[in-house]
Each structure stands twice: as structure tokens, then as C-alpha cells.
Structure 1
């Protein structure tokens, strides 16, 4: 079973970037237009600073992708700080410098350095995999550096930091603080960080132009903002598969889930209709059906006991946020609207809309059944994986109970025992991992520690450590999240 060609529906890199910006804003507890607004302000600031055309494009791209590493370190934030979404929201709105709150946090503050490394490496990889400029990639790999050298991850200072980093940081602070404290309060806070977080000359530009810029921005439509942000590199065609991988990074036990759902749903559609556009549309929807998952703290997803009503309400809103992504332009928007029906049920017991019967299209019925089918056969923190027979019985019970569509389930079960074979990306065949290295990578990509991977694979911890070192060297990365992202794109996970 292999997925259909994603190129059957036109998709721009810009569509994927906007989706990743949306996910990043949810992860940071921000309004879902925060990153586009930041990018627009950053573009104005880059113009005022006299940057070259290429550098101005890098500013736009880096501003949109600034939070694209958020899902990669969500598990780490949850482990150290509890609520990964709420903590990051507080960091932005109360302590915008990653370096600033370290002393106040004590030992926990020291944990921010490795988390920043993960974020920056993954964000840089995202830019590279999307074919954006080298300047954009470099800026994202240093996105938390500061003018005074107290930033992360490398403590670079002054002109050693790409100018785009300071411009994006200042624009982001201006966007958030003007919303939280008003324009005057925002400018006062920017002044306090002059020649610390960013150079004084940028603060002067912002002080001079902030009021008219914000007034103009508030009068623009989202389409007008988009038009001002589109760069040459973001006009190429691509696949939304990278968006799926970034979504799944949030929870290690979800590695590869969205790609598997997409391929499974598309294969079922092939059995139901010859329409290749339907196949591709369902495939795209399967890839991004979890966009809204970024809004829910990891502690909720990892909970083993029955969810409280408040936690369950957060989960019910996951497809709502996915539907909000449906407002994005292009193929991503169309796919997101379909994807937001992934948890609806024919008897009205699903969420978030609670619609039933005819209100749920055949494409949505296939997607909903596919999500359930794949999820049941994978382990979750609150239950072990079900066998194919057990999962099939559960689906058939849902059909008998009027919750799932019988035709969609029959199409899924027609190939119940056939594993999904993800195609290897031929562009990466020069990277050769051994069979054992791939086994180790699959284990750690799902959250296993070195000791856990050693027990699972009957290896010594030192052997696992050696394999991981080799994996990082071959994949040219230094974190498990970046290795997972690269390996998923190569078809290894």
C-alpha cells in the first residue's frame, strides 16, 4: 500500500509555511494570526533598516517559521514545566527572552538550553527541507540569540548573529506587547531591551514607525497580509508531508501516525472511487488532520486515567482548530476543512460539530474510519496496541452501532493485513544507515531512552549510544527530534 502522488493537487511551499506558522502559534498559546502579523511587521522593519532584497525575504520566511520547532521540544517542556502551551505563552507575554528567566527558574531554567537546541535545529531543518534560502535556515538555527550574547543556543553576540534574528525578535515582541499592553507599553518594553535583546538602531526604527505600521496592519485582510509575505522560494510546489511530520513530533508515540493515516485513507478511497482528485484530497487531509493537536498540552495527551471534563473539552477542540486552518488559502485550506471531520460520527456522537449522517461526506467517513483503524493498532499511554483482529472487531461494532460507515470500514478491512510500505525518498539514498541503526532510530523516535531501546533490541546501552552517534553523524544532526524528522522524510519510520 503506497500513498498517491501528492502532486495531483497543486500545493505551494507558502501553503505549507502558513500551516506550520498556524501550528507554531497554537503551540505558543498565541492567536493564530500572530506569526503572519509578526512577519508583516518584520518586513516593514527590514525595509526601514535597509536590508537587501534577499535578506528581506529571509526575514519574512524566518518570521513565519520562527515557532516551527515548537512541537519538537513540546515533550521536553511538558516534562520540565508541566503545561508546555501555557508555559510558553507566559514566556512570550511576560519573559520574551529565553535567557531572561533562567535565573528565576533555577535548575529548571538550565533545561531551556537543550530545548532551544532542539527547537533551532528542527526549525532550520524545516527551512532546508522546504527549499528556502540558506539565510533563512541560518537565522532559524540561531533564532533565540540576542545582541548582548545572553541568548540561545550558542550565545552569539552582536554582528555574529544574522540581522534577521533581531528583526524577527523585535517584530514578534511588538506584535505581542502591543496586543497585551497597548502601543505605549510595547514601546517602553522594547526600549528596555535596546542593545540587549536587539540593537538600538532597530528599536529606533520601531519607535518611529510602530504606530502607523500597527494601524495599517489592523486594517489589512489576511489575503493582503499573505500577498506581502510571499517570497520567491515559497512559490515552488511541494507536499504537505513535512507538515504531518512536524505535527507528529509533539508526541513521540505519534511518530509516523499522520502519514500512516493518510496512506491508509487514500488506499481505501482507491477501492471506493476511481477519482484521483478524491484520492489526493483525502491523502492531504489525512496528513494534516492533527493540526489542532498542537493546542492541547502534552500532559493531557499522556494522561493514563480518564480525562477530566476540562481536559476533554481541550481534546474536543482539536478538530475545531483544524477547521480554523481551513481558512488558509490554497490546497492546505481545502484539505484542512475535510480533515476537521476526522472525529465526527454518523450518530452525532463525534466532535467538534456533532453532525450526523448526510452532513458527513463519504471522504470524511473514510478519513474518520482510517484514523480510528490506525490508532487502535498502535500503543497509547492509556492502553496497549490492539491486534488487527481486535481492531477490526471494534470497527465493526462501531458500524453496527451506527457510528462509522460500513462501506468505508469494508474498504479498510479489505487490506487489513497488508502493512503500509512508505516509499524511500530517492534523493536521500546516499545516506546509508545499517539495519540495526534504523531499528535504534525507530525506537528512540518513539521516545525510548537509551536504556529502554537497549532492552527492546537486546543490546547494551553503550552499543545503543554508539549507534545513535553514528545516526547523528550520518544524518548531520545533533538531536533526536531532528533525526526523527529527517528519517520520516526518507521513509524509514
Structure 2
């Protein structure tokens, strides 16, 4: 049975969905209201097509979660396109030659895109399941890139085999993007060209007939009115915010588990400082979501081994800004997102994005900033090895002596010991899932980006033994990609 302390952190599923939509929009190079607008347009299309209430709910939920798998394949897009964010923005806008780099990959376009689509669909479907949404939403997301002509992904289903909301979401997304980028007339021409290829002509005809009216009506709506239209009965239930943290961390394999650890460490430090339960919960939630803005920065910058250029640093400095902006869109997470945006501030004013100092930093912000630094120092990064606890503590004390961290907070942090992770609401582990200790070791290694060979070296196993363990883990977790295995195992408490 879930503890009262864990239950205190629960949030509305709708707020978690909106946070994931915000992360997805950043990851895909879109305005941060793109998924909300797409969902509203998908609802209009579903209603115009005579879809029943359940189908309309699926269209809304799938639109909001359409990009929830895009952190999981960001590394693959970065390898293929160089800039995972700009490259995917070009893909969605159908810009000329956006796919040219993919044709140069071994096997060409299809061989490159197929596994990326599989990762995306599997993860987004798993997200819907963890949120407790209807099975129809999960199924739609697992086939979100299928096409009417059977040339879509990941299963190359065709026509009526494809869940109808897939086409509604695709059309709504296209009209939202194309009309914004190219204007309505060209948008409708592009959609007509995709009729009976990407989606059925009858739905494209409905969009052609009503798009202008729908877009004008949408532009006149206030955010609260859009929320009211999009909220489904399933999204009124509660869920655990840990899912947001896990999706954030999928963007960079070496970040697996980082956000949860920051949250648990910060909450433990608050308890040692005798802050009340409400303060502990605020800091815990803020720790979980403090990396939302990381989705706005291309993977190539995060993986850079050397010193960042000035322009690259400007992008990194905006990470907490985007986290703060997410709070304006995520209902009950607004307070946590605002606090989370102070994670990289420093007492002497040398932090970012505000360069806030001393009096402008409340105690909760000081705890979060110190916890994030403490966990990061002891974690491996592309530009350095993980520091030992002793070396990390020495550096934290040196930074404190220079006026960057609060001395009382750092003392409490270093004296707190290991933080105990919390079990999220969706942590209930199916009785059939039993992973051996060695399988967990292998899963932990590959979840952090290690290849089979690298995991074999790390664990002193043969590559064939590692491969056998990976196959066993995938079979037990009922998934076929490392990203989905990581997400699902995190939710089950294996990682």
C-alpha cells in the first residue's frame, strides 16, 4: 500500500500530461503551446467526423502525448541529424532536404528511421499506460506514425487497421504547424497532397473545409478555455510526478535516475534542516522537474567533452528559464516549476538564469541548488568522471567558502547520508516480473547508454552473456527497446 508521504506528491494526470507535452514541444523545436493547440484541433476534427465520446477523448490525449517518446530517441536523432531539435523541427515542417543526412546513414532513410520510431512509439505508449489512461490512447500512441497507405511506422499498418485517432492527430498536427509556418493556403495544399497517403482523404476534406474557422476560434481562446476543452475524465485522476522526471532523463542516457536522486536528496536535506512537510514536498517536486528545460538544448551540446562556446552556454543558461515557463502551463506544478527554476542559481549571483543572489534565494531554493550540484558531482559526465564522495564534499565546501552555497545547507546535505527513493503510484510490480540480480546489473548498465560490449567489460561478462540477459529483460518487461525498458524498470523500482 502506498505511503501517505508518497501520496502527498501525487498530481492530476492532466497536469503531468501538460508537463510532458511542454517537454515534447521543446524537444521537437515547436512553440510550447503546439501540443495543446493540436489537441484542440484534433477534438474539432473528431467531432466533425462524428466520432463518439471515447474516440474524442483518445484524440485529445494522444495529441497531448504524441511527443512524449521524443526524449527517448533524442540520442538517435542527434547521431543521424546532428541537431536533434532543429532536425526534427525541419522534419515536422516538411522543409526541403530535411532528410538528406538520413540517406547518408548505413541502410538509408528507412533503416535509420525505423528504430527511432519504434523507440518513440513504445515509450509514448508506456507513458499512457503509466498514467492510467484508456487502452485506446495507449494503442494509438504505439502506432502514432502509421499511415493510410501502409508506408508508416513502426508496423506498416494500413487503412482501417490503423486506429482512427492516429489520423486525426496527424492531421491536426499538420494544420497547426503548416498554417503557422507557411500560411493557411499552402498548409491546405500540403495536406491535400498527403490525402490518402498519410491520412484518409475524407478527413483531409473536413480539415480543408473547416480549418480557417477552427484556427480563428482557437486563436481567440484563453489558456483556461483550452484546458477545459481538453480535460478528459481519465486525466482527472491522480498520478505520480516521478514519471515526468523519468521522461526528462531519457534524453541523455547518462542522466538515468538523476532527477529522482536530486529530488530525494533535496527532500532528505530539508528533513535534516527541520523544514516542515509542505516544504519537503515542494522541494521534492521541484527536484523531480528541475530538468524540464534541458529538452530545449541539443544533445550534441550536452555530450560535448570540452569547454562550451559562448553561444552554447547561452542555450544552457536558458534551461531553468524554460523550466519556469513550464510552470505557467502545468496547473498544480506551477509552484514546483518556479522553485525548480532556481536549481542553478548561486548565493554570490554567479548562477543562472536570473543571476539571483543571497536575499533573492529562499532556503528551499538553496537546498535544491546544493542538492543538484552534490548529485551531479558524484555522477559521470561526458566531460569528466564521477567524483568520489570525498572529493565532491571537498569541492562543495570550497564552493561554500567562496560564497556560492549556503553553509548550513551544505553541512546538512553532507551529513544526511544516502537518500531513499520514493515509490511512485504506478510502482505496483506485476507478479510475473522477476529480474535476477545480474539482469538488474545489466539493465542498469545499458540504461545509462552502455553498449553490450561496454556492459560486458564493466560487469566482467562475455558479450553473449550480456546479450542473453538483455533479451531476458526485454521479454520479462514486454518491451523491445532499451529506452522503454529503462522507463518501465524505473517505474517498477528496479533502477
Taking a change above 3 Å as real, the CA distance of residues 98 and 435 of structure 1, as seen in their structure-2 partners, is farther
**TM alignment of 1:205-284, pairs within 5 A:** 205-284=206-285
Cα displacement (A) at 1:273 = 2.8
User: CA offsets, 1:286-324, max 9 Å, x none?
Assistant: 000000000111110000010011111110010010010
What's the counterpart of residue 35 of structure 2?
Answer: 35
- The CA RMSD measured in Å over matched residues stands at 2.0
- Runs of 5+ consecutive residues of structure 2 not aligned to the other structure: none
Cα displacement (A) at 1:409 = 0.8
What CA distance in whole angstroms lies between the structure 1 residues aligned with 2:252 and 2:3? Answer: 23
Query: Is the aligned partner of 1:465 residue 2:472?
Result: no
Q: Secondary structure at the match of 1:5?
A: helix
Cα displacement (A) at 1:454 = 0.6
CA contact (8 A) 1:8 1:277 kept: no
Query: Is the aligned partner of 1:139 residue 2:140?
Result: yes
- Runs of 5+ consecutive residues of structure 1 not aligned to the other structure: none
Taking a change above 3 Å as real, the CA distance of residues 404 and 265 of structure 1, as seen in their structure-2 partners, is same
What CA distance in whole angstroms lies between the structure 1 residues aligned with 2:344 and 2:133? Answer: 34
User: CA offsets, 1:346-388, max 9 Å, x none?
Assistant: 1110000111111111111000000000000011010011111
What CA distance in whole angstroms lies between the structure 2 residues aligned with 1:411 and 1:11? Answer: 29
What CA distance in whole angstroms lies between the structure 1 residues aligned with 2:380 and 2:428? Answer: 30
Taking a change above 3 Å as real, the CA distance of residues 53 and 155 of structure 1, as seen in their structure-2 partners, is same
What's the counterpart of residue 449 of structure 1?
Answer: 451
Count how many residue pairs are aligned between Structure 1 and Structure 2.
491
What's the counterpart of residue 51 of structure 1?
Answer: 51
CA contact (8 A) 2:343 2:372 kept: yes
Q: Secondary structure at the match of 2:11?
A: coil
What's the counterpart of residue 177 of structure 1?
Answer: 178
Cα displacement (A) at 1:243 = 0.4
Q: Secondary structure at the match of 2:461?
A: coil
Cα displacement (A) at 1:406 = 1.1
CA contact (8 A) 1:317 1:352 kept: yes
What's the counterpart of residue 7 of structure 1?
Answer: 7
What's the counterpart of residue 474 of structure 1?
Answer: 476
Q: Secondary structure at the match of 1:404?
A: coil
Q: Secondary structure at the match of 1:20?
A: helix
**TM alignment of 1:22-421, pairs within 5 A:** 22-94=22-94, 107-109=107-109, 110-416=111-417, 418=418, 420=420
Query: Is the aligned partner of 1:435 residue 2:434?
Result: no
Taking a change above 3 Å as real, the CA distance of residues 94 and 106 of structure 1, as seen in their structure-2 partners, is farther
What CA distance in whole angstroms lies between the structure 2 residues aligned with 1:14 and 1:98? Answer: 34
CA contact (8 A) 1:10 1:331 kept: no
What CA distance in whole angstroms lies between the structure 2 residues aligned with 1:333 and 1:146? Answer: 37
CA contact (8 A) 2:344 2:353 kept: yes
Cα displacement (A) at 1:181 = 0.8
What CA distance in whole angstroms lies between the structure 1 residues aligned with 2:218 and 2:274? Answer: 45
Q: State the TM-score, normalizing by the size of structure 1.
A: 0.96
